[in-house]
Structure 1
């Protein structure tokens, strides 16, 4: 009986000790993580070089008129034109519209699957056409993202 009590006491003490050690390790881990600064920050390319140019008023007005077509700062616009990067700002708006259409088509298919809509004789054909349209939208959008990568 004394041995059972002693063994139980030792087991309990070792479990408490292990829990305390695990808590300290966890605390040290998060302290070390805090020293590292937490999550990694994105590496952004710092724009640290400044170039100033002179131009007359007419050149400046032309530049401003071209830049106003895009929702970019003037310096970003000049940098993109200088390095011949494509300005595809309005392209993302069409993608957004397509995503909204796809979501609406999904909602329509979910509504048509309910029992209340058994009035339509060609319900299966409608569902098939909507699903084909949604698949085409997704294929188009995913092919664009794969091209960009």
Structure 2
């Protein structure tokens, strides 16, 4: 009877130990995946190297004047110029304007659907043209997004 008890105790301890190890592996797995078991976060390349250069005041002023055209930090601007990356920052301003136009056209079409605007005889034609215009704006913006991908 002593051997059976001892053997069962050893087996139960081994089983509990295996469960604890499995639970810790699972916990470490989810810690590795990210918070709450999500997808791994992207690892960005860290900017950890520092280069200092000397330049004259006039050179610095010219550099700052060129950088002020773009909403970038000076270091980011220098890095983009150095590695010949395209500076397409003003391109997104046209997209914002188009999005604003689209939202304004939607508001206009909603106003035209109200009873107060039944005075217009060609109300349906105006609504169709506005909807076509909104669709063209969305198609242009989505095609631009797909080209960038």
Normalised to the residue count of structure 1, the TM-score between the two structures is 0.71
CA drift of 1:120 comes to 0.5
Deviating 4+ runs (over 4 angstroms): none
- Aligned positions, number: 120
CA drift of 1:137 comes to 0.9
Match of 1:145, SS state, is: helix
Match of 2:48, SS state, is: coil
Q: How does 1:110-129 map to 2 (within 5 A)?
A: 110-129=110-129
Residue 132 (str. 1) matches residue 132 (str. 2)? yes
CA drift of 1:34 comes to 6.5
> Can you give the 5+ residue segments of structure 2 that lack an aligned partner in the other structure?
1-22
When the two chains are superposed, the root-mean-square deviation of aligned CA atoms in Å is: 1.9
Residue 54 (str. 1) matches residue 44 (str. 2)? no
* Structure showing greater relative contact order (alpha-carbon pairs closer than 8 Å, 6 or more residues apart): 1
> Can you give the 5+ residue segments of structure 1 that lack an aligned partner in the other structure?
1-27
Question: Cα deviations across residues 8-58 of structure 1 (Å, max 9, x unaligned)?
Answer: xxxxxxxxxxxxxxxxxxxx7xx9377444044332111122222222221
Normalised to the residue count of structure 2, the TM-score between the two structures is 0.71
